[in-house]
Amino acid sequence: MTDSERGDNGIFGDRPDEEIYEAFPQRPMAYGMDPTDGMPRPAVSSALKDAYAPPLTPATLVCMADTSEFVRRDEWGVVTHRWDPKHVERMPNGKWRARAKDATPRYPLPRWKLMRCTGYVTVEPIRPQCRHYARQMTDFQDDPEAKFVARLCTARRNSEEGFLSVRDAQVFACELRVPSDHASRENIDAFDEKKIALGEERLKAPEEFDVEAELSKQRNEDQ
């Protein structure tokens, strides 16, 4: 649907699950009848909804939080204390808390300080969720009983100026991430180092390539 067809007020904009239907642009769209109003509606096979989706894990989508461990950090971002998830609970304001006594200090603290830390402290996942990562849960156009989760990067825009979808995508590292993730940033650095090394080899190749010798070799083979 074009912008003119939507109208200036944007009431007839795309639905959150539109990306599912856009995944099959070369196939004829199947339609069924909506039992509520008897009008035709697009139908997508439920078996295809996640048929080609990669597994969703914190390792393959750096946008999401990794809650396998909870920590407190110093002003440099270095982990000083760790908590097992079983000792952590999430509060109504969205923050995580744990009892100080359940911490595993990375560096031993003075005994008097340990004795004072008997209450709750604010903790965070070992990798907090990116502030630009947003989720929306809706239904499918062809199946109101099924649930669809849109996963968006609000720091980037697609060609239609909408938020970029990262659903069914693998995002291994991202420098737009807030807060920054040191582990994934190292992945990008290592990748760039390899690309730079390959580029240097390609720059050296022309100097080592003897055109006259190669032409003479080809002439000899032809004869």
In whole angstroms, what is the distance from residue 150 CA to residue 174 CA?
19
Domain extent, residue 170, equals: 1-63+139-201
Most confident stretch, 13-17, 68-72, 160-164, 181-185: 68-72
Structure confidence at residue 9 (pLDDT) = 39
Q: What does the alpha-carbon distance between residue 132 and residue 166 come to, in Å, rounded to a whole number?
A: 11
Q: 41-55, 148-162, 168-182 — which is least confidently predicted?
A: 41-55
Element housing 156 (H / E): strand 147-157
**Which two structure tokens, joined as six digits, stand for 71?**
């920590």
The answer on 118 and 10 residing in a single domain is no
Q: Do 143 and 59 share a structural domain?
A: yes
Q: Is 108's pLDDT higher than 70?
A: no
Residue 43 forms part of a structural domain: yes
Mean of per-residue pLDDT scores for the chain:
77
Question: Does residue 59 lie in a domain region?
Answer: yes
Q: Which residue has the higher pLDDT, 88 or 202?
A: 88
Q: What is the pLDDT of residues 125-168, one digit of tens each?
A: 999 999 999 999 988 776 777 888 889 999 988 777 788 889 88
Same domain, 59 and 74: no
Residue 104 lies in a domain: yes
As a whole number of angstroms, the distance between CA 43 and CA 27 comes to 12
Give the rounded percent of residues in the chain with a pLDDT score beyond 70: 63
pLDDT band at 3 (very low <50, low <70, confident <90, very high): very low
- Is 216 part of a structural domain of the chain? no
**Domain match, 72 and 114 both:** yes
Most confident of 15-24, 45-54, 136-145: 136-145
Contacts of 1 (CB under 8 A, 6+ apart): 12, 14
The verdict on 184 and 89 lying in the same domain is: no
pLDDT band, residue 6 (cuts 50/70/90): very low
Task: Please check whether residue 215 lies inside any domain of the structure.
Answer: no
Residues 96/122, Cβ–Cβ less than 8 Å = yes
Number of domains in the chain: 2
Q: How confident is the model at residue 42 (pLDDT cuts 50, 70, 90)?
A: low
Per-residue pLDDT at 8 exceeds 50 = no
Cα 182 to Cα 161: distance, rounded to the nearest angstrom: 30
Which is more confident, 23 or 133? 133
> Contact, 34 vs 46, CB < 8 A?
no
Q: 38 pLDDT exceeds 70?
A: no
Is the full-model pTM beyond 0.85?
no
Q: How many CB atoms lie under 10 A from the CB of residue 29?
A: 10
Mean pLDDT of 17-24: 58
Identify the band that residue 215 occupies on the pLDDT scale cut at 50, 70 and 90. low
pLDDT at 37: 67
Higher pLDDT, 64 or 116: 64
Residues 11 and 109 in one domain: no
d(CA 153, CA 151): 7
Of the chain, the percentage scoring pLDDT greater than 90 comes to 34
209, part of any domain: no
Same domain, 120 and 89: yes
Same domain, 194 and 94: no
Q: Please, is 163 exposed, middle or buried when counting C-beta atoms within 10 Å of its C-beta (0-12, 13-18, 19+)?
A: middle
Give a yes or no: residue 42 inside a domain: yes
More confident residue, 3 or 22: 22
